[in-house]
Amino acid sequence: THTMMGQKDNPGMIPLAFQRIFDFIAQAKDDQFLVRASFVEIYNEDLKDLLTGATHLQLKEDPVKGVFIKDLSEHPVSDERHIDKLIQKGNESRAVAATLMNATSSRSHSIFQVVLERMTVIDGRECIRVGKLNLVDLAGSERQEKTGATGDRLKEAAKINLSLTTLGCVISKLVEGSKHIPYRDSKLTRLLQDSLGGNSKTLMVVAVSPASTNYDETMSTLRYADRAKQIKNKPRINEDPKDAQIREMRNYVTKLEAQLAEIMQQANAGSGSEVEDKEAYDGEGNMGAGFTGYTADEMANVQSLRKNLDKTKKKRVKYVEQRKENEEAVSAEELATLEEEQKKLEEQIKESERKAKERQLMAKKIAALIEANKSKMVDKKVLENEERLKDAAIREARNALVAQKKEAERLKKELIEAEQQRKQLEEQCTTALDQAQQLELRLNEYKEQLAERREELHNVEADQAKEREIIRNDYADQIKLCELRQFIVSMFVPEEYQRSIESIASWDEDNQAWHFRTQKSHRGMAGFG
C-alpha cells in the first residue's frame, strides 16, 4: 500500500503515474483527451464502490466491453488534484484493521481504474485510441499464528488468502500455456483477466521482509513473482473501439452548440448586432446580459406593443380625468373599451416576455450542458497554468538531479572498478615477472639436468654396447660348445640311447640343472655310465 499510495512528500506509484499521464496530455497540443476514474474494493469477495459507497456490485461480461462492474461510478478528471481528491476519498472508505504484524493492515484488495481516451486527427480522419490502467493494491497473504487474527480478522484473512491462491493458480496456468485458465474462481482474477493474460502490459511489485523469521514468506513471495514474470503478453493498440465515449461526448456537445447557435441566431440578442451577440454568450457556459431571448421581430413587436400600451394608458388617464369633470364627456363604454385594449396589450407583452424567458432559460440550460460536458474533457488551459507548470518544472529538475546522481554514482563505480583493475594488472605484472624469473631458473636447472642425463645416457649406451659385444662373443662360444657336444654325442651315443635319455631327463629352471627319472628296467642300457 505504501508503494502504491506513498505519502504527500514521497508520492507512490499511483500519484506518479497520473503526473506522467497529465504531463503527456499537456504536451499533446492538437489531441483531445477524456480521462475517467473509478475506485473499487474487493472485501470478503464483495465489490464496493469506494467513491459512492455502493456495495454488492455485480460483475458482468459484454462482447464489446469485456468484464466490467455494473453500476460502478466513473468520474471524469482533468488534473492530478482531482485524482488526489478521489484517491483520498476512496482510501477513507477502505477496510483497514490492526493485526500483530501491522497496525494499519489492509483487509481488502483495491483497484483504481483509469480509462484514457485520445482523439487524434490523421489525414482529416478522427482516430480514437483507448487505454485502461489498473492500479491494484493487493492485501498481503497472512499466517494466523503470526498475525494473531481471530473473528472477523480471521475471516478476512481467509478470503484474502483464497483470492491470492487463485491468482497464483491463474499465473501458473498461464505460464504452463494451459487451455483452461480459472479466471472465474475469484472476483479478483475475473477483474484482472485482461491485465494477466489479455491485451495488456503488466508490472508486479512484491514486498519482502529482511527478517530471518519471515524467510518462508519471503521465498514464497519471490517464487510467486518469478512465475508472474514468465507470463508473455503481446499487447496491441485499441483503435476506434465501439465503447469509446469521447466521440459520443464530442458529437453531443456539437449538437448542443448547434441548438444554442440556432437559438442565438433566432434571437440575435434582440438587435442583430455582432457585438451584442458575442456579449450574449462567452463560449464557457455563461449567458451575458446582452441576451434577452427575443427575436428581432418579437423585439420590434414588443416595442410597438409597449408604445401602444403607453398611449392607451395615457388616453385612459385622460378619459378618467375628463369623466371626473363631466360624466357625459366620455362614455362608460369608451372607458371600458380602453381598459379592455390595455389588458389585451399587457397580455400580449407578457406572452412575448414568457416566450423570450423560455428561450433564455433554454439557452442557459443548453450552455450549462455544453460546459458540463466540456468540463469532462481534459482542459489543456488548466494543465498549462502557472502553478502546474512550476510543479512540472520542479519535478523535471528533481528527475534531472536524480539522473545526475545516478550518473555520478555510475561514474564513481566505474572509476573504482578501473582502479581495482589497475591494481590487479600491476599485481599480475609483478607476479608475471617473478614467475618469469623462477621459470628461467628452473629452465637452467632443467638444461643442466638434461646435459647430465645425456652424458649418463651416452655412458649407458657405451656400456650396453660393450655388454652386447660380450654377449655376442659368449653366444658364439656357447654355440660352438653346443655343436661340439652334439657332435661328440652323435659320434659315441646311439640314437635309441639318446631318445631314452631325453625321455627321462627334465630341466629344473629354478636350480638350473638337469634331473633324471629312475627307470627299473633299461636292458638296452646295461653298463652305460
What single DSSP character describes residue 212?
A: G
pLDDT in tens, 455-495: 999 998 888 889 888 988 888 888 898 888 888 888 888 88
Question: pTM of the predicted model, to two decimals?
Answer: 0.52
Asked if 53 and 92 count as a contact pair (C-beta separation under 8 A), the reply is: no
The pLDDT confidence band at residue 285, using thresholds 50, 70 and 90, is very low
What is the pLDDT, as a whole number, of residue 523? 46
What is the pLDDT, as a whole number, of residue 61? 84
* Whether the predicted pLDDT of 270 surpasses 50: no
Each domain of the chain, given as residue ranges in start order, spans 2-242, 247-383, 386-498
Task: Give the mean pLDDT of 278-304.
Answer: 58
**The three cell numbers locating residue 217:** 514468506
Task: Give the mean pLDDT of 23-39.
Answer: 83
Please list the helix, strand and coil fractions of the chain in percent, rounded to the nearest 5, in that order.
60, 15, 25
pLDDT in tens, 195-229: 776 677 778 888 888 888 878 878 888 887 888 78
* Whether the predicted pLDDT of 99 surpasses 60: no
For the CA atoms of the chain, what is the radius of gyration? 55
Task: Give the mean pLDDT of 165-175.
Answer: 83
Closest CA to 51 of 113, 130, 134, 107: 113
* Whether the predicted pLDDT of 311 surpasses 50: yes
* Whether the predicted pLDDT of 150 surpasses 70: no
What is the pLDDT, as a whole number, of residue 87? 86
Q: How many CB atoms lie within 10 A of CB 137?
A: 21
Rounded CA separation 47/52 (Å): 12
The pLDDT confidence band at residue 275, using thresholds 50, 70 and 90, is very low
Rounded CA separation 301/294 (Å): 10
Rounded CA separation 194/80 (Å): 26
* Whether the predicted pLDDT of 524 surpasses 50: no
Closest CA to 349 of 314, 307, 290, 315: 307
The pLDDT confidence band at residue 276, using thresholds 50, 70 and 90, is very low
Q: Which residues pair with 111 in a beta bridge?
A: 40, 136
Q: How many CB atoms lie within 10 A of CB 264?
A: 19
Instruction: Identify which has the larger pLDDT, 30 or 244.
Output: 30
Rounded CA separation 63/72 (Å): 18
Task: Give the mean pLDDT of 321-337.
Answer: 65
What mean pLDDT is reported for the chain? 76
Instruction: Identify which has the larger pLDDT, 60 or 523.
Output: 60
What is the pLDDT, as a whole number, of residue 527? 41
* Whether the predicted pLDDT of 519 surpasses 60: no
* Whether the predicted pLDDT of 522 surpasses 80: no
Helices (H) and strands (E) in the chain, counts: 15, 12
Lowest mean pLDDT of 176-180, 210-214, 268-272, 487-491, name the range: 268-272
Asked if 59 and 187 count as a contact pair (C-beta separation under 8 A), the reply is: yes
Asked if 147 and 157 count as a contact pair (C-beta separation under 8 A), the reply is: yes
| Fold classification of 2-242 (topology level) | Kinesin (3.40.850)
